[in-house]
Structure 1
């Protein structure tokens, strides 16, 4: 009987301790971070690139920054801070991007939020160079800045010229990347991108991508026929004075011209890239 009483007391103590632990309040410091994920679902710390070259008529555009909270939801609005990282930034405030707010509001009962980053396309020099902008969540308002820098920091590179897209590396048929090659791809292929083979179910888009690559190959070999078949696009070929070479350009943007150079060795014409090399795929 005495042993039974002892066992009962021990069991009661253990149950009371477990109940006490289960009810312990959350006491960790809350943080916010920038949630960019790669193809494997891990935090993506690579630089994010953007170009107005895909939408040259835009005076500005908005990127939405994904914010995530560590810690429980609460039933009140909370404030957090986002700051520019000077060491990662060459962009000029108000010239290349709209100033950040002094603080941002996370609505009550929320654990995620997207905040706007407004990029500007008013600097003509962006046609020839890229600028960078580094952002980081920092301590302030209702949140600390205790998480690793890699989770709290993102670098953006943007311009009004083309940047190498992530999918390019998967399509060896295209060869080495070049901005002029990329511009001609956008004109002649019929699409702005190919499938990123790292994505789920990418195999379903392979035939479509091969079709666009073939369009691009045909365009490079015979831009004159392409012009004849696509008159609504407004492109022309004009022979350069005193030369066998041609210039290819849109009548709506005559200042942006591509050289189609004649090579007597093969009795053929090839577009020339920014390094003076033939564009061949």
Structure 2
């Protein structure tokens, strides 16, 4: 009996080995390629871009990452996008350049960056605008996941009062804050008492500029700011030569004969 069992096993062994050596069928990705915005959770909710700290830029470019889901290709492919105008407050040609009809994704690449050109205008100092961009299907790519094909961009130039301001300066306004940035080239001051000499030095630079803006412009030609008047010197526009669209009003006080910058509330900056 044992011999019969052993003989049966020997006969079945080649068949068992043949079955075990048979290659498993590999699952392959056979769906068409898709694109989506490769953003973090925070950026997906909104990408915030601010011109608040730089009046010199007339425009800048935001590069939004786009990623491919699927096979890479040896040829250049193109993806497409559009602005959902009903969900955007930004206006084409005013706040941003109109989007192109298509954008390239280079050969063998799994990722690209979609450039969005945004404009620095004075209205952004008081009110930010939003731009909702969505990917759409093209000849080369699909867009399967609706939650991953939208990017909301907030364009702003607003400044907020920092915690250190009241320690070294008074009478906060966004215009005064902007002038502080221009004059001192400092984005922040500390609240440490031992830093008082340094911080008071920067505060005094601003006060000196406010007392005689014309002298400051003359003494600092390297900063490329100008004062331009169209009404025989009653008012002036203060701006950087590279961006006249972002200016600050300087107005003569008829009672004192002195000139004061005017803030966002229409008050004199002192």
Q: TM-score range by the shorter chain?
A: 0.5 to 0.7
**Deviation sequence 1:103-147 (CA, Å, 0-9, x none):** 1111110001112110123x5433322111011222222111112
Residue 76 of structure 1 and its aligned partner are, at CA, apart by 1.4
In structure 2, stretches of 5+ residues that fail to align are 1-6, 167-171, 213-224, 228-237, 239-247, 252-262
Matched with 2:53 is 54
**Deviation sequence 1:29-54 (CA, Å, 0-9, x none):** 321111123xxxx6742211222232
In structure 1, stretches of 5+ residues that fail to align are 194-210, 239-249, 258-271, 277-281
**Are 1:160 and 2:157 an aligned pair?**
yes
Matched with 2:141 is 143
Matched with 2:102 is 103
Matched with 1:255 is 249
8 Å contact 2:48–2:155 — kept in the other structure? Answer: yes
Which stretches of structure 1, 4 residues or longer, exceed 4 Å deviation after superposition? 172-175, 181-190
2: CA distance, partners of 1:191 / 1:17: 67
**Deviation sequence 1:79-110 (CA, Å, 0-9, x none):** 21112122431111112111111111111100
TM-score by length of 1: 0.59
TM-score by length of 2: 0.61
8 Å contact 1:75–1:108 — kept in the other structure? Answer: yes
**Deviation sequence 1:192-247 (CA, Å, 0-9, x none):** 37xxxxxxxxxxxxxxxxx74449x959xx86x5454x48x962358xxxxxxxxx
After TM superposition, the structure 1 = structure 2 runs for residues 21-32 of structure 1, keeping only pairs within 5 Å, are 21=26, 24-32=27-35
Larger RCO: 1 or 2 (CA < 8 Å, sep 6+): 2
**Structure 1 vs Structure 2 CA RMSD:** 4.0
Give the SS at the match of 1:147: coil
Larger Rg: 2
Size of the aligned set, in residue pairs, is 210
Matched with 1:264 is none
